[in-house]
């Protein structure tokens, strides 16, 4: 499955959504850019997502920008191939994994949809993440 969504990590703390948009706009029509920030202090968490109008543009950006150094930080990109529009409503209706496992979180520890999606992606084993990237690059 080709993805229109790219997860970008390794972002400098001072980088804004406008910077992220400007950086990735050269590769095609962007529908949305999100920079994930700490809800308490508003500081960047160092990762975000870029949503393109087409998967071809997203794959071109993925190939061109992987490992790019911006403000002394090396970017890491990966397709969010299993987080497409038809999957998001299903994910939001499901109980978070920690609740299904019977774990309890402290007051105010509920994950936002973006945090849940990010945690879902980064908790994949390294071999699975590499496999997703390889599949995305092969199908591009």
Q: What is the pLDDT of residues 56-107, one digit of tens each?
A: 999 899 888 888 888 888 888 888 865 444 444 444 444 444 443 444 444 4
Q: How much is the pLDDT for 44?
A: 86
Residue 4 and residue 53 in contact, taking contact as beta carbons nearer than 8 Å: yes
Backbone angles phi, psi at 135, to 5 degrees: -60, -45
Q: Is the pTM value of this prediction over 0.85?
A: no
- Domains of the chain (ranges, CATH numbers): 5-86+125-139 (3.30.70.330)
Over residues 104-126, the pLDDT tens digits come to 444 445 556 666 556 555 555 55
Beta carbons within 8 Å of 132's beta carbon, 6+ residues apart: 78, 79, 81, 82, 124
C-alpha closest to that of 43 among 78, 9, 8, 12 = 12
């Amino acid at each position: 499955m080709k993805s229109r969504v790219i997860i970008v990590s390794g972002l400098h703390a001072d980088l804004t959504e406008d910077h992220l948009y400007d950086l990735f706009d050269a590769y095609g029509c962007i529908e949305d850019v999100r920079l994930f920030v700490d809800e308490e202090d508003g500081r960047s968490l160092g990762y975000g997502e870029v949503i393109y109008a087409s998967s071809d543009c997203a794959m071109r950006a993925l190939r061109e920008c992987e490992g790019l150094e911006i403000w002394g930080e090396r970017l890491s990109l990966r397709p969010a191939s299993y987080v497409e529009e038809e999957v998001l409503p299903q994910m939001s209706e499901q109980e978070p994994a920690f609740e299904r496992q019977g774990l309890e979180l402290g007051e105010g520890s509920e994950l936002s949809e973006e945090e849940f999606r990010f945690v879902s992606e980064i908790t994949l084993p390294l071999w699975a993440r590499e496999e997703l990237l390889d599949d995305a690059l092969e199908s591009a």
